[in-house]
Amino acid sequence: MNNRTLSLCLALAALASAPAVAAPQAPQGQWIWDDGRVGVEFHPCGAALCGRIVWLKAESQPGAAPVLDSKNPSEALRRRRVCGIDYITGVTLGASGKWKGGRVYDFNSGGTYDLDIDVIEPARVTMRGYKGFRLLGATLKLIRPPRDLPRCAPASAS
C-alpha cells in the first residue's frame, strides 16, 4: 500500500469515527416559565410548531377565578379563558437549525410579537419575542415542569 492510499484510508476512517451532528431538537411536550407563572405545551400545527397554555399559577389556588383574555384587541375574545389558547403559532425550523418565524401572543398586554425559540438543552428553552428587530426584544426562559403539574380546563371555543 502506497502512502497516498494509506492517507486516504486514514482520512476515511477518521470521518467514519467522527461524532454525528445531532439534528436540532424541537421543544416538545410541557414546559413552564422559569418564574413559575405559566405552563406551556408545544405541539405540531401543520408544518409548524405551536404552544398552548395548559396551566396558570393564578388559577391554581382553590376558588381562584379564571384568567380572561381581557386585553385582547378583539372585543369578542376578551371574555375567553386564557388557559387552553394557542398563544405560540407558526414557529418553523430554519436553515440555520434555529426555530424561527413564529408569533407569540402576550395575553397580559394584548400584543402579538415575532418569535424565535432556542432549545438550549433537553430541559431548557429560551423564547425571544420582538417587534421587527430581534435585538430589541425580550427573552423568556422555559424549564421542565414538575411531573404532577395539573392541566387547567381548556378555554371555551370563542
Contact of 136 with 30, CB cutoff 8 Å:
no
C-alpha distance from residue 63 to each of 83, 96, 108 (Å): 16, 47, 21
Specify the pLDDT at position 59.
93
Contact of 155 with 84, CB cutoff 8 Å:
yes
Average pLDDT per 10 consecutive residues for the chain, totaling 158 residues: 43 40 71 95 94 95 93 96 96 88 96 94 92 91 92 62
CB atoms within 10 A of CB 26: 16
Specify the pLDDT at position 13.
41
User: 22-29: long-range contacts (C-beta < 8 A, 24 or more apart)?
Assistant: 24/93, 24/97, 24/98, 24/99, 24/119, 25/119, 25/122, 26/93, 26/99, 26/119, 27/99, 27/117, 27/119, 27/125, 27/142
pTM, full prediction: 0.78
State the Cα–Cα distance between residues 36 and 53, nearest whole angstrom. Answer: 13
Residue 38: beta bridge partners? 56
**Residue carrying C-alpha cell 391554581:** 60
* CA geometry: angle 110, 39, 78, nearest 5 deg: 30
State the Cα–Cα distance between residues 67 and 58, nearest whole angstrom. Answer: 7
- Domains of the chain listed by start with CATH number: 24-143 (2.40.128.520)
Specify the pLDDT at position 153.
67
